[in-house]
Structure 1
Amino acid sequence: MAAAPSMAAAIAASLPAPSAAPTPAAPTHEAIPASMAKVIDLEADIPIACIQLDGMVVSKIIKHAREAQGPSAHGILLGLDLDGTLEVSNSFPLPHHGSDDDDKSAKGIARYQASMLRSLKEVRADDSIVGFYQAMSLGSFYNQNLVETQAIQQDKLRHGGVVLVHDISRTARGNAAFRAFRLTRAFLDAYKRNNFSTDSLISHRLTFSSILEEIPIKIRTNPLLGAFLENLTAPSSASSSDPSPAAGQESVALPPSFSVLDIGTSSVTKNLEQVIEAMDAYKTEEGNIAYNQRQIAREKAKADGYIAKRKEENAARVAQGLAPLPEEDVSRLFKIPPEPSRLESMLLLGRIDAYSKTLEETSSTGLVKMYAARGTTSV
């Protein structure tokens, strides 16, 4: 972690020193030209309608997710918003720590992030945070951690920021899957109130499908990246001095991949297991909610019975000409628990829906491959 600032300082030191500029005159404030009024959005009035990813950002995220070997890969997105398009031009990964000491891990990640931003600023690179990315598998991005992180971003970042989800399971099959999301206004309002009761869900019209809204993504490649990919895929003639290949034999930097020949039965099995686990978790959560609701109903029944009994006693005392007993605070006598939150249930439903859609896609492709393999074997 200490090597990043020193490397950035070395690069900054190698840059030419800025020439001495003359003393500027008094600043004059001019109106923004009409042609630039939409581009220079000082007040962040233009909503984000599209995400533009640089090809190098895509490559860095895929590399990080592959090296991390799991959904623990996450990092920061850097860029700029111009005329309704959020241009993501750079990214850097964040370290992953165990959950043994959450406070210490959070402070370490915060220090690392601040160090990286200072280093990027020293080399005059983009250092404006526009969101974060998260690697996941088979659509399992509906969780509390992602929602909490995105809620903090939408409260502090310009235009609210976005979360970029990268599906490592689809990338392993040869399809680079990226999706961009942000929290809806209705969900964010309920989250700020910390109220996910039944009445709150009805008033905000919240379901698992209205937690996140998806933003379209475009990927932009520059000539340098295109030349690099062309160099990787183009065959080159090996020299005779190289002992490994035969003289005059053509070689390719990228080895051939046979992933398209995989029927995909293993991924379908894993997907089914995750669907069953999510269903079991949802059933357990619904059982806990039902138990809490029964407790609330019992306590309310005791409180209502106590109030009715006190009213009868006061009526009898008034009939006897006696002063009624003072009313007591029922909330002190009976501890009625609050209504349980249904946020976890909604997230589990969203996870089941994402798993099911992934299962539909992988199983349909696998069936086609199985029929094709059966046809070739019969011939």
Structure 2
Amino acid sequence: LLNQEFPFLLTSKSMSTTFLAPGTRNNKLGWLLSSFLCVCVFQVVLKIIKHYQEEGQGTEVVQGVLLGLVVEDRLEITNCFPFPQHTEDDADFDEVQYQMEMMRSLRHVNIDHLHVGWYQSTYYGSFVTRALLDSQFSYQHAIEESVVLIYDPIKTAQGSLSLKAYRLTPKLMEVCKEKDFSPEALKKANITFEYMFEEVPIVIKNSHLINVLMWELEKKSAVADKHELLSLASSNHLGKNLQLLMDRVDEMSQDIVKYNTYMRNTSKQQQQKHQYQQRRQQENMQRQSRGEPPLPEEDLSKLFKPPQPPARMDSLLIAGQINTYCQNIKEFTAQNLGKLFMAQALQEYNN
């Protein structure tokens, strides 16, 4: 999406800092992924939340493009715009052309218009999917600094903003480039579900005027409305997470059955191949004793074609999603246990 119309290198004459467009990393900066920081302007957070409130319903996710610049060792996300909801009937809609028109319009009004990633909402933390993996690989392969912001509206509604930034690990990027997801390739690359994605720290930044405005609004807001963090209703949220966790465990069990079937078929074929070689060897010995020439060599790979191994990437994604559910349940129960103990102590004190 970044062609000659959108330059790769921008410099600010009024500042000594050099701003790099994504995908043009300067080796002189010397920053590493381990120290990479994502700075998100609060306006972007509000736009993402507003996008979900207007178009997101239940399990339906909303997505959009993140815009900004790379400043030294920071990825600054300064703007975003949503992907419009469209159906299969909208055959005339061109998503790429839509993005180009939006970026061109933003450039004309002197707003940062360079891609730095994309965002997506999630339903109870269900975002570790093949679609997200493929999309993030496409972004990160074209623009090395790209991140994906995951917004959880359900957890946010409980009183704490849930917004996380992720990238694919370098090992997973190499495997995706090779497009070899066999068990041997993943084992060779030493990839496990714990090291598929790396979380990038996020710092949400406000201007001084916005901080003053928020301080004024906080003084005017009613104290009675601030009760989300004190809610003791945890059964619905916890039950939904457990249900989703059990569904993924069932999927993992089915994948394990498929893999065990593949291993049994492989072992059975190896036995048949060994028996065939023994029979051929005995027959050649008998022919040699009779003074006859041995049987011609045959291509065993054609006679015994190895069974197709199941792709292990789906299993890794399921394991990663299970790990995400477990972490969410752990965090949720830890917070609610504290509130329950506090409520119990207050009740005993009042009695």
Query: 1:262 — aligned with what?
Result: 231
- Is 1:76 the counterpart of 2:65? The answer is yes
Q: Distance in 2 between matches of 1:142 and 1:373?
A: 35
Query: 1:117 — aligned with what?
Result: 103
Does the 8 Å CA contact 2:165/2:201 hold for their aligned counterparts? yes
Does the 8 Å CA contact 2:20/2:69 hold for their aligned counterparts? no
Does the 8 Å CA contact 2:75/2:145 hold for their aligned counterparts? no
Q: Distance in 1 between matches of 2:287 and 2:85?
A: 69
Return the TM-score normalized by structure 1: 0.77
Return the TM-score normalized by structure 2: 0.82
Aligned to 2:316, which of 320, 329, 346? 346
SS of corresponding position for 2:225: coil
After the TM superposition, which residues 124-135 of structure 1 pair with which residues of structure 2 at under 5 Å, given as runs? 124-135=110-121
- Is 1:297 the counterpart of 2:279? The answer is no
Q: Distance in 1 between matches of 2:86 and 2:192?
A: 33
Q: Deviations over 1:104-141 (max 9, x none)?
A: 69x74333323322322333322111111121133322
Query: 1:16 — aligned with what?
Result: none
Aligned to 1:137, which of 123, 128, 136? 123
Q: Distance in 2 between matches of 1:337 and 1:192?
A: 24
Does the 8 Å CA contact 1:138/1:271 hold for their aligned counterparts? yes
Q: State the shift of 1:39 in Å.
A: 5.8
Q: Distance in 1 between matches of 2:142 and 2:270?
A: 41
Q: Distance in 2 between matches of 1:289 and 1:231?
A: 60
Runs (5+) with no aligned partner, structure 2: 1-14
Range with bigger deviation, 314-323 or 266-275: 314-323
Query: 1:151 — aligned with what?
Result: 137
Runs (5+) with no aligned partner, structure 1: 1-34, 236-251
Query: 2:48 — aligned with what?
Result: 61
Q: State the shift of 1:199 in Å.
A: 2.8
Q: 1:119 to 1:310 in 2, by over 3 A?
A: farther
Q: 1:363 to 1:43 in 2, by over 3 A?
A: closer
Does the 8 Å CA contact 1:232/1:253 hold for their aligned counterparts? no
SS of corresponding position for 1:203: helix
Query: 2:77 — aligned with what?
Result: 88
Q: Distance in 2 between matches of 1:124 and 1:254?
A: 40
Q: 1:196 to 1:83 in 2, by over 3 A?
A: same
Q: 1:125 to 1:36 in 2, by over 3 A?
A: closer
Letter in 2 for 1:154: Q
After the TM superposition, which residues 14-25 of structure 1 pair with which residues of structure 2 at under 5 Å, given as runs? none
- Is 1:366 the counterpart of 2:336? The answer is yes
Compute the RMSD of aligned alpha carbons. Answer: 2.9
Does the 8 Å CA contact 1:56/1:225 hold for their aligned counterparts? no
Q: Distance in 2 between matches of 1:219 and 1:94?
A: 23
Does the 8 Å CA contact 2:61/2:123 hold for their aligned counterparts? no
**Identity between Structure 1 and Structure 2 (%):** 31
Query: 2:6 — aligned with what?
Result: none
Aligned to 1:222, which of 201, 207, 229? 207
Q: 1:163 to 1:366 in 2, by over 3 A?
A: same
Q: Deviations over 1:3-60 (max 9, x none)?
A: xxxxxxxxxxxxxxxxxxxxxxxxxxxxxxxx96876695532445111101100111
Count of aligned pairs between the two proteins: 325
Does the 8 Å CA contact 1:296/1:339 hold for their aligned counterparts? no
